[in-house]
Structure 1
Amino acid sequence: MGVWRIDADVLAGSRFVVSPMVETIGCLAALNGLHRVSASQREWLAEYGPQFRARWAADAFALPFLRDAIRPGWLADFLVKPPHGGAPRFAAELERVAATTDEQARRDILEAMDRPLAPVLHEDGLVARAVELLDWVWRHAVRPGWPRRRRVFEADIVARTERLGSGGWAAVLDGMRPGMRWLGDGRLQINAYDYPPRDLTGTRLLFAPTTSQRGWVSWEEGVDLHAIVYPCTGWLAQDPDVVPPGALARLIGPARARILTLLGAPKSTTQLVALTGQTLGSTGGHLRVLRDAGLADRRRAGRSVLYYRTDLGDALCRDQAPR
């Protein structure tokens, strides 16, 4: 199995990032049709899959490239370089992909591949055409919904950070992505493949959420940087732009109605801030009103305080739901 050895200094210096390129690669893998898709990607695929096929199905480069560079359970390394910076921009991340030579890209694609490279990938301009494809997917299929995705990712990061405070790194890392387990004693199983252990001492470690079902791991030797891309799953993957029923919004106000709708699963104040974009003070004020009205309550979970709907709040949301 693939094991990373991670000491306390690496964990202490690690951080979560939201990367537009990570999400674009995950979406491109879903559009490719050879990677399993998550539940949150299926609705998106129904909308953007036809557009993607209309633009790229007849392209002489795109389909051979996708078949060879984004294979089931595998992604070419030059496409998945770890993010740089705390809030990377897509244009900057795309420039890093564009800096790859065609020769290096071919070596990355051929790694662990049991068939010859598609002839079109031997032509000059391989990386430039890959960059064109990535840029199209970002601009046409990911960027239109990026604010919503970013809020979901930020809420996921908040939840995991709170879990870190209450349960330590073992609670955060164990099961972060399929096949990943915290083994203890500074050992992290990242997958079930038979790879030699990697010692991360002295390197930086990043965690980046994606809507992909499995995520991936990557590293960049020259800058001693490793990344774990993990699926943003569970109740945080719900649509933060969900619109509460109009009657409920008129009854208690749109901001409170939205918070009450989101409390179908327990959430902390900071998670609600990330999902709604409201200030901490406003969110706290709305929660107090909902508690005073008997529509919401709170309980402690470790070091976190989670808010949830009461039976009355559930009944109100259920009764106002469209039929």
Structure 2
Amino acid sequence: MVVRYQLAGRDLGEVRFAISPLNELVLSLHAWQDPGRYPLHLPWIRELQRLRGRLAADLLVELVNGDLWTPDFLTPRPWSPLTRLEDELAAIRRTPQEVVDRDLRLVTGGSRLPAVLRGSDVLDRILDALAGYWEICFAPHWPRMRALLEGDVTYRGREIAQRGLAAMFAGLAGRVRLTGDTVEVHVRSDVHWTRPVTGGLTLVPSMWTSSASAPILPDEPPMIIYRARGLGTLWEAQPLPAPGALAGLLGAHRAGLLVRLATPASSTELAVRLGVTTTAVNQHLRALRAAGLLVSARHGRSVLYRRSDLADRLVASASPPS
């Protein structure tokens, strides 16, 4: 079926790009239903399986159905490439109860909701479950995820400047095209509607869609979620460059970790970046902290490590002058 957004006059100049941490969090629940559709995310999916016991999994699994639909109220239109998760959660908390019930029934496909999705406190429980899911499974990896999404936005902006708006739309996905003043999105859902754009059309890159999608209901804000470029590189192991003198003193792995930890990171994030186990990373981190070269602090449910002042001086003295 087809969703059509009509752009007229100034609407063409109000096409914007935005990034939504909440959209990415909710759409990642697709991988709970059908992990085989997301082979590029296999390292993350393996980690998820190990961590599911720490999550409100009985509730989260009900937020996506067999057709990979999720409630529209949980995938709001973001307004900026700099959107923060806490701001999105605060906005969602104000969703009217009737909208929550309507969208949950559309996804579950029944007049009677599953027990875990009933009750006047269901919205609070959903948001608490999503916040816990973020802290455990997303926050350690969000810096690299955001970098990939921001890279896509930069590429699309350059494409508009060099080739025009129609070429950019055609490059989003095979399901999207701009014809005259109308953007068409071919969706898998059994919907077919046309509406004018008010307030601008927002384009949102995602790591969790195979092509492109739009909201199911025509009264939702105009938005197209499309597959971001470069997903094949997201979970690739990254090298650990280190000055030769520092590597000779500490060993290549520990020296490389010190160089990387100019900005805070968790052991889980480092393990995924480097393509090694968390246990191996933790051994090096403990040794470096015991030597006074790292400091650590708890951030939510994660422990973040960064270089100490002593390590900053050591790295600076070992690095060749630029």
Q: Which bracket does the TM-score occupy, shorter chain normalised?
A: 0.5 to 0.7
Q: TM-score, normalised by structure 2?
A: 0.64
Q: How does 1:290-305 map to 2 (within 5 A)?
A: none
Identity %: 22
1:97 aligned residue: 92
Q: Is the 8 A contact 1:76 1:109 kept in 2?
A: yes
- The verdict on how the C-alpha distance between 1:78 and 1:101 changes in structure 2, with shifts beyond 3 A counting, is same
1:42 aligned residue: 42
1:216 aligned residue: 213
Q: Is the 8 A contact 2:89 2:127 kept in 1?
A: yes
SS at match of 1:111: helix
2:29 aligned residue: 28
CA distance in 1, matches of 2:196, 2:128: 34
1:54 aligned residue: 53
Q: How does 1:148-227 map to 2 (within 5 A)?
A: 148-177=144-173, 180-192=175-187, 193=189, 195-214=191-210, 216-218=213-215, 225-227=221-223
CA distance in 2, matches of 1:245, 1:90: 30
Residue 67 of structure 2 is aligned with which of 67, 72, 85?
72
- The verdict on how the C-alpha distance between 1:113 and 1:23 changes in structure 2, with shifts beyond 3 A counting, is closer
Per-residue CA distance 1:199-247 (angstroms, 9 max, x = gap): 233321111212113353239988x8422121113x4651498534869
Per-residue CA distance 1:19-77 (angstroms, 9 max, x = gap): 211211122332x22476434322211112320x2124xx5xx4355335544231211
The Cα of 1:79 is off from its aligned counterpart by 0.7
- AA paired with 2:141? G
Q: CA RMSD in A?
A: 3.1
- The verdict on how the C-alpha distance between 1:207 and 1:108 changes in structure 2, with shifts beyond 3 A counting, is same
SS at match of 1:124: coil
> Structure 1 unaligned runs (5+)?
251-323
- AA paired with 1:55? R
- The verdict on how the C-alpha distance between 1:218 and 1:14 changes in structure 2, with shifts beyond 3 A counting, is same
> Structure 2 unaligned runs (5+)?
245-322
Q: TM-score, normalised by structure 1?
A: 0.64
CA distance in 2, matches of 1:65, 1:200: 34
1:108 matched to 2:124: no
1:19 matched to 2:30: no
- The verdict on how the C-alpha distance between 1:120 and 1:194 changes in structure 2, with shifts beyond 3 A counting, is closer
SS at match of 2:203: strand
CA distance in 1, matches of 2:132, 2:40: 21
CA distance in 2, matches of 1:35, 1:229: 20
- AA paired with 2:33? G
